[in-house]
Structure 1
Amino acid sequence: MARQDNPVYDKETPYFQKQQITETDLEDYKGNKSFNYTELEAADNWFVKLKRWLRNALFQIMDALFGNTAASGIFKFIFNVVPYVILGILIFLLIKFFLKVNATSIIQGKQKAPEFAFADEEHIIKNEDINALINDAINQKNYRLAIRYNYLLALKELSEHKIIIWEQDKTNADYIDEIEDETIQLNFKHITKIYDYVWYGSFTIDALKFESLKLPFSQLSKLTIHHIG
């Protein structure tokens, strides 16, 4: 078997050969896009910007509520304005509730002239023949006003039978709290809802609808008249 001799290298001959690279060679590489390794940062899209804004907003709110730093920018404005907005809403609700103003008409700028002044309630309850007023309203096909008179008649009868103490500045909620008889109280709540729906909602009702709506008023009248205190 023949023996294979190992290759012999000449130590005087260098294994690596040094290549000379000129500036011209480098310019060729620089102009080649394949050798461009510069990292470009991707531009933020709208979603990334939104997330960043929400995160910063949350941090500002948390700092303002629980931290030592105060809110700034739009959140400072919101924190300063919100209490006044809430106060304004409460005042609006109180005016609507106590003065019984049609809120829908205020918003739309089309407030109707009242069919009679609310200050006349006391005069009507104490002096007028409310049943006659109801009949007049029905004859005029003013069923909404007839519901209004039916409600005043209910208050008058409840007052006459000592179930409530009628006063000009009391609210319907006050009268509900005064009524001790649960059946009468439940019926009064029912006619109050009808009254609020028809009168303050400014809904138009016809004769057929009126005949249906007046039944709870008649039922309450019977309960009131036969009530034993």
Structure 2
Amino acid sequence: MFSALQVVAVDTLAVAGSEPTYTYWKPGYYDSIPKSKMIIADTLPSYDAMLSRYQSKEFEYIESISDKLSFFDKLLDRIGTFFSSLFPAPNTNFNENIFNILAVVGGIIFVFLAYKFFISRKRVYIHHEQEEEELQQIDFVEKNLLRVDVGAYLSEALQQKNYALAIRYLHLMNIQLLGRKGIVQWNQSKTNSELMEEVDNVALKNEFLACAALFDYVWFGGFGITATSFAKYEEQFVQFQRRWS
């Protein structure tokens, strides 16, 4: 059973048969809407006061800061970034001044090591090139020992103050003497001991081996010798050559 109110409501909807309409253009329609409070201009802060709020350090952007940094500050920043990428950040608070000092010291060490690397590399290359030329020259002299003028190579080594090389040429002059006299059969692959196996004269053999031992000491020992020490060593080779020439 429907109540009278329900019947009236149903009849009303049935009669209307459409959505309700609103007359937005009628006067006073919007009077029921609450009005918002007006913003009074006098209550707003002045432009200068508002601008000052954004002049603090946290509102400075990287672009504006980088323009103000000096060359030294930029260098410290780059060094700090480099070392930060190498070492993890410490958990404890680290004094910024100490970190800057360490960064500068690390940068100086890095530059020094880089300089030493390139300079040393250049010197090693030059030294290696000189050694290659020296070994090629020795190889040529040894292969043609019975035909070349070893004295000319000895003079060149002395002009260059390469006393170890001069001792080697003195030793080759001893072998050249014995080879030209037919006492030994020279071959570049032969050792001093193999050469002396061909010698019957005991005195000659002992004196030659004494000179050979001196050559081994200077050449293979890698000891730097002076002009004074060379003159002392040279005398032993000269005496051998005078006696057995």
Q: Which has the higher contact order (CA 8 A, sep 6+)?
A: 1
| Larger Rg, first or second structure (1 or 2) | 2
Structure 1 length normalisation: TM-score? 0.47
